Amino acid sequence: MLPDDASEEFHDFFERHYAELARFAHLLIGEADAADDLAADALVTIWQRWDRFRRADHPRAYARGVLANMARERLRSTVRERRRITLFWSRVPERTDGPDVAAVLDVRTALTRLPFRRRACVVLRHAFDLSEKDTAMALGISVGTVKSQTSKGLAELERILGVRSAEALVAGRRNP
């Protein structure tokens, strides 16, 4: 098949089935805008596998399967993200005698500037004193990712807060 023929064939499939796939996605994930994006992403994946797709006994079923797998992963990702957010923000702040309010506010502000995964790794490792393994399990990532994200997060905190403040943050973990 010539590339133009494949392109025409795909365009025809797209025109006939995009709306159906978008409706299916909407029913699966419950968000209209996200459903349109998901249907488009599924069609991009189908285009990337067009030769395999064309040989499928039931192309529409294949397309629905691709979309269903992507929707499942999106929902899982959303659930994991909500769990991470809940884990991160669910802790009730502990009262201490005479906290350095300004320093606490500086650290909190600096933490919000970190990407979520780095922030979560730094907080779980240093504020909650979790091991790398426990942090990895809590976040659903590998131990290696915990190590790299924690290292990058601390380096970024050093840059934001200054080396002495970041060292005090880490040292505070060891001296309760």
pLDDT in tens, 37-67: 999 999 999 999 998 888 888 888 888 888 8
Secondary structure letter of residue 127 according to DSSP = I
Task: Identify whether the C-beta of residue 166 lies closer than 8 Å to the C-beta of residue 150.
Answer: no
How do the domains of the chain map onto residue ranges? Answer: 1-91, 93-175
pLDDT one-digit tens code per residue, 81-122: 887 787 777 665 555 565 555 666 677 788 888 888 888 888
The predicted structure's pLDDT at residue 176: 38
For the chain, the 3-state helix, strand and coil shares in percent, each to the nearest 5, are 80, 0, 20
Query: Residue 175 above 50 pLDDT?
Result: no
CATH, domain range 93-175: 1.10.10.10
What pTM, to 2 d.p., does this model score?
0.48
Tokens standing for residue 116: 């979520």
Instruction: Please state, in angstroms and as integers, the Cα–Cα distance from residue 143 to each residue in 29, 117, 121, 130, 132, following that order.
Output: 31, 13, 10, 12, 6
- Residue 150: CB partners within 8 Å, gap ≥ 6? 118, 121, 122, 125, 126, 132, 135
Looking at per-residue pLDDT, the higher value among 174 and 79 belongs to: 79
